[in-house]
A and B are shown apart, each in its own frame.
Chain A
């Protein structure tokens, strides 16, 4: 989607950062930046999901509005 010019934010939990980075590399974007939230996700209540969403919102806004997506050091 990003390659097609659609602003995109990838969100994954801490448990999946290795696979996220492997996938970014395969896609030819080894420094692709994405949002990371605590694990797990599937067992959360609706309220807890909303808390996670509020926590990560600034990062998502930054991913969607920045020119490119280099990883922040």
Chain B
């Protein structure tokens, strides 16, 4: 056993080397500890999983493992981290742009499938809060990789104007047990019994309380009110609605499917054009969203611009709206966004099942 002063010296050494780059202490990464992660995932340590082309930097499986150790993960979390990084490598996610931007983006990770039970990923009470090792350390690993591997430090390459607490970790499970609807990964075409992780860039999280509603409209118009802040509506935006099970089950009891709910949210998330005319510095003609004949500006372009997930406890009528980091350019006729545009789309990736011994 290491002596107390050795433990403290090792932690201090990691601070001195700059590895505790989110400000919290890290687990000192020994080669043996890192090897356990590499053995578990059975991947080539030199294989590149994610890149940031504009700054010519890459993250290998080994570097990801070192940061997973430092973040406090268990080896069995590592395949989820690799799948999340591979999802971020997808151009639709915009890995470099979202990390560099003034828009203060935090990577949101949503985990689906039996893996939530296996690893103990929290999807219930306090789902966005602390207390659960997978949620705390899987999300933290992604952030440590952005900092330690890619050098995205605040003030240089990370220009986040204000940041947000989700940048420590923002990782949740979907509460599939208490959801009345098909889970996110099944909606995206993966088998129900598969494990999956979805990544998306979040700008902020706002809780929506509605404990008195007796019908779907009462819940959904309350959520829409939070979705439709001016700063989101003035550009094409996706929105993540993390609906509490109580809200979801109330809506489902009235016979509404998940698709019905997304359609309602999409159709009604709009602001009247005059709400822009009240702002002296915003020219309504420069609002980037389509305007319909009735003088409303839509938030999204299709019901697929609503990322609807059920999570949280079944103890109150509470949901959360996550406002998006990026514009929604990539949905326009399936076209790729022009270079330099802060576009963002969510990406779902299957997590390989552990090998049976």
**Whole-angstrom distance between the alpha carbons of A70 and B157 in the complex?**
22
Which of chain A's residues 4-24 have a Cβ closer than 8 Å to chain B?
16, 18-19, 22-23
Cβ of B55 < 8 Å from any Cβ of A?
yes
Residues of chain A within 8 A (CB-CB) of B57 are: 26
Cβ of B255 < 8 Å from any Cβ of A?
no
Cβ of B8 < 8 Å from any Cβ of A?
no
| Contact A26–B156 (Cβ < 8 Å) | no
Chain A residues with a Cβ closer than 8 Å to the other chain, count: 8
Contact with B along A16-53 (1 / 0, CB 8 A): 10110011001100000000000000010000000000
- CB-CB nearest in chain A for B156: A22
Which interface class (under 10, 10 to 19, 20 to 34, 35 or more) fits B?
10 to 19
Cβ of B315 < 8 Å from any Cβ of A?
no
**In whole Å, how far is B50's beta carbon from the nearest beta carbon of chain A?**
17
Which of chain B's residues 49-78 have a Cβ closer than 8 Å to chain A?
54-57
| Contact A16–B55 (Cβ < 8 Å) | no
Contact with A along B154-167 (1 / 0, CB 8 A): 01110100000000
**Whole-angstrom distance between the alpha carbons of A53 and B56 in the complex?**
31
| Contact A16–B159 (Cβ < 8 Å) | yes
**Whole-angstrom distance between the alpha carbons of A18 and B156 in the complex?**
6
**In whole Å, how far is A57's beta carbon from the nearest beta carbon of chain B?**
22
Residues of chain B within 8 A (CB-CB) of A16 are: 159
| Contact B281–A26 (Cβ < 8 Å) | no
Residues of chain A within 8 A (CB-CB) of B155 are: 18
Using a CB–CB cutoff of 8 Å, the interface residues on chain A facing chain B are 16, 18-19, 22-23, 26-27, 43
The 4 A-B pairs of least Cβ separation, nearest first, read A22-B156, A26-B55, A19-B159, A18-B156
* Cβ contacts A to B, 6 pairs, < 8 Å: A16-B159, A22-B156, A22-B157, A23-B54, A23-B157, A26-B56
Known: A16-B159, A19-B100, A23-B157. 14 other contacts (CB 8 A): A18-B155, A18-B156, A19-B156, A19-B157, A19-B159, A22-B156, A22-B157, A23-B54, A23-B55, A26-B55, A26-B56, A26-B57, A27-B56, A43-B281
